[in-house]
Amino acid sequence: MLQFNLQYIFDLRGIDKPFSFLKRHGFTHAVAQSMSTGNLKSLRTNQIEKLCEILQCTPNDLLEWVPDKKSDDHQKHPLFKLKRAHSAVNIRKALKDFPVEKLDELEKVIEALKKGDK
């Protein structure tokens, strides 16, 4: 089954309060509530586009595929790349206990990854 998993991208982006974030970016109370609680069955294409713009992601980053049958759970399945094998790391929480003396090194690694050097 293909489903929305917005918590994944919220965690990746370090968004601890998705409801407030979505409201601040112009989503209605009802839509922000359903998006932030995971009670989301559908989105309009303009809402998907807006999410992708504010979260700097693609529609694939908003979706997760959960196989309906065990026989579908294989790498050749067309939706296999949308299967989440793990939960997202909340960068803000991960950095909370990161040694200060290693932050410069981490920044260099991040910059290299952004440039495609690694």
CA distance linking residue 98 with residue 91, whole number of Å: 10
CA distance linking residue 25 with residue 18, whole number of Å: 11
Question: What contacts 59, CB < 8 A, 6 or more positions away?
Answer: 48, 52
Radius of gyration of the chain (CA): 17
**How confident is the model at residue 113, as a pLDDT?**
85
**How confident is the model at residue 70, as a pLDDT?**
66
Q: Which of 88, 66, 67, 77 is nearest to 10 (CA)?
A: 88
**How confident is the model at residue 118, as a pLDDT?**
47
**How confident is the model at residue 87, as a pLDDT?**
61
pLDDT tens, N- to C-terminus, the chain (118 residues): 778 889 888 988 889 899 999 999 999 999 999 999 988 888 999 999 999 999 999 998 998 877 776 666 656 666 656 566 666 566 667 777 888 888 888 888 888 888 885 4
**How confident is the model at residue 46, as a pLDDT?**
96
CA distance linking residue 71 with residue 77, whole number of Å: 10
Q: For the whole model, what pTM was predicted? A: 0.66
